[in-house]
């Protein structure tokens, strides 16, 4: 075999590989923030009908999904762009705003795609540590913006810590960011966030032409396997995102599933309510076992286990539960079906007591 290798971009050396939440051979998978519920019947029917047309390209402009979203969110259709999951939209954001050598500011620890897409763009990552309570340090993030900053990413609720920002603190932050810098509001878990001062990107983007909101059908809507997400932004940004998309990247099957899901919004939101109730039960039970658990506004909870991260992950694995370790910070546990959560709570309850407290309150 010839051993000469093509020259690839040097910037790839600095790009971490995406680590997916692994699956236990048998048991409970609480590692990828998926919805545990199976698809609704009507969504499955829409998918099978769309599948009969798989010899055709999908609708490039995704007109039907974008119109359904526009109606639901009360925004103009031209303010919406779709992508193969919001992960793809995040890459599009980098393609439209960031050149090699530019800076991208985001909180850390947060979604693990941020360092990857930043690195692929050849940009410099400016990572701002989370507050002690696991929330974004918004004042420090605003301070980190420089002349070279082209994008600032805010994740609320934050993956993997679950903390959500209040809309009032987000407003103060937005006011501090120059209007020439693109702000990405990653709301992958917005449907799970409750409370009067919750952030609603679909409303606040109206006053901010430099804001792009990313949302997904992968989490609350239960369509992770089909790959569809969307962005909401003013026309210049939304149009640029559409230009930067992989042509026909969102399949007809995914588009049909998204439209059918939006038609069944009320039923889906009832499922979200069930997840939220389980989240409260899991959090309260863990706390009563002596664990330090931050409030979560998403479909997972976070344990800041620091140097016990892999030990606890292994402890769960031995009883058939897969959780998501983030060395060296902690473990993220998805809220699953009640039986899975029971199994997790049993495992947590039998973990060595002195190792349960995180270093943060």
* Binding site residues, ligand PLP, CB under 6 A: 33, 85-87, 111, 155, 159, 186, 188, 216, 218-219, 224, 229
Reported as type and span, the H/E element at residue 175 is helix 167-176
Q: At what angle do helices 86-97 and 235-243 cross, to 10 degrees?
A: 100
Closest contact distance (angstroms) between CB of 227 and ligand PLP is: 7
Closest contact distance (angstroms) between CB of 216 and ligand PLP is: 3
Nearer to ligand PLP (CB atom), residue 248 or residue 353: 248
Nearer to ligand PLP (CB atom), residue 223 or residue 282: 223
Nearer to ligand PLP (CB atom), residue 31 or residue 86: 86
CA torsion angle 96 102 107 113 (round to 10): 50
Contact 233, 205 (CB under 8 A): yes
**43 vs 83: CA distance, rounded Å:** 19
Taking the chain, what is the end-to-end CA distance rounded to the nearest angstrom?
57
Nearer to ligand PLP (CB atom), residue 39 or residue 85: 85
**33 vs 14: CA distance, rounded Å:** 27
Nearer to ligand PLP (CB atom), residue 227 or residue 315: 227
Nearest alpha-carbon partner for 304 in 280, 268, 267, 329: 329
Closest contact distance (angstroms) between CB of 159 and ligand PLP is: 4
Residue that has been written with the tokens 């059918």 in this structure = 260
State the residue number with the nearest CB to ligand PLP: 85
Nearer to ligand PLP (CB atom), residue 79 or residue 219: 219
Closest contact distance (angstroms) between CB of 122 and ligand PLP is: 22
Nearer to ligand PLP (CB atom), residue 159 or residue 210: 159
Closest contact distance (angstroms) between CB of 251 and ligand PLP is: 14
Residue-wise DSSP of 124-148:
EEEEEEPPTTSS--HHHHHHT--TT
Closest contact distance (angstroms) between CB of 230 and ligand PLP is: 9
**312 vs 278: CA distance, rounded Å:** 21
Closest contact distance (angstroms) between CB of 189 and ligand PLP is: 7
Q: Which residues contact 224 (CB under 8 A, 6 or more apart)?
A: 32, 34, 35, 218
């Amino acid at each position: 075999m010839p051993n000469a290798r093509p020259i690839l971009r040097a910037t790839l050396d600095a790009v971490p590989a995406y680590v997916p939440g692994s699956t236990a051979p048998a048991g409970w998978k609480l590692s990828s923030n998926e919805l545990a519920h199976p698809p609704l019947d009507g969504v499955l029917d829409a998918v099978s009908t769309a599948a009969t047309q798989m010899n055709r390209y999908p609708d490039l402009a995704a007109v039907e999904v974008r119109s359904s979203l526009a109606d639901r969110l009360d925004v103009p259709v031209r303010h919406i762009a779709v992508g193969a999951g919001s992960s793809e939209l995040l890459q599009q954001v980098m393609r439209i705003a960031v050149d090699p050598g530019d800076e991208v500011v985001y909180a850390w620890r947060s979604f693990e795609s941020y360092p990857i897409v930043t690195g692929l763009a050849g940009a410099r990552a400016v990572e701002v540590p989370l507050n002690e309570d696991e929330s974004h340090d918004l004042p420090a993030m605003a301070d980190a913006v420089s002349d070279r900053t082209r994008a600032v990413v805010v994740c609320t609720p934050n993956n993997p810590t679950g903390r959500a920002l209040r809309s009032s603190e987000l407003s103060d932050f937005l006011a501090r960011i120059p209007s020439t810098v693109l702000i990405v509001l990653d709301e992958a878990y917005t449907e799970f966030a409750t409370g009067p001062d919750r952030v609603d990107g679909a409303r606040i983007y109206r006053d901010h032409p430099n804001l792009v909101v990313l949302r997904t059908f992968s989490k609350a809507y239960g369509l992770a396997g089909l790959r569809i997400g969307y962005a909401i932004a003013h026309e210049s940004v939304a149009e640029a995102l559409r230009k930067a998309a992989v042509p026909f990247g969102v399949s007809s099957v995914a588009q049909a599933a998204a439209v059918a899901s939006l038609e069944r919004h009320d039923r889906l939101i009832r499922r979200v309510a069930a997840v939220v109730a389980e989240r409260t039960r899991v959090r309260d039970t863990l706390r009563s076992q002596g664990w330090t658990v931050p409030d979560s506004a998403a479909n997972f909870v976070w344990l800041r286990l620091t140097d016990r991260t892999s030990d606890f992950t292994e402890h769960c694995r031995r009883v058939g539960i897969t959780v998501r370790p983030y060395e060296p910070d902690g473990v993220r546990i998805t809220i699953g079906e009640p039986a899975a959560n029971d199994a997790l709570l049993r495992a947590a309850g039998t973990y060595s007591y002195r190792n349960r407290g995180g270093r943060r309150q």
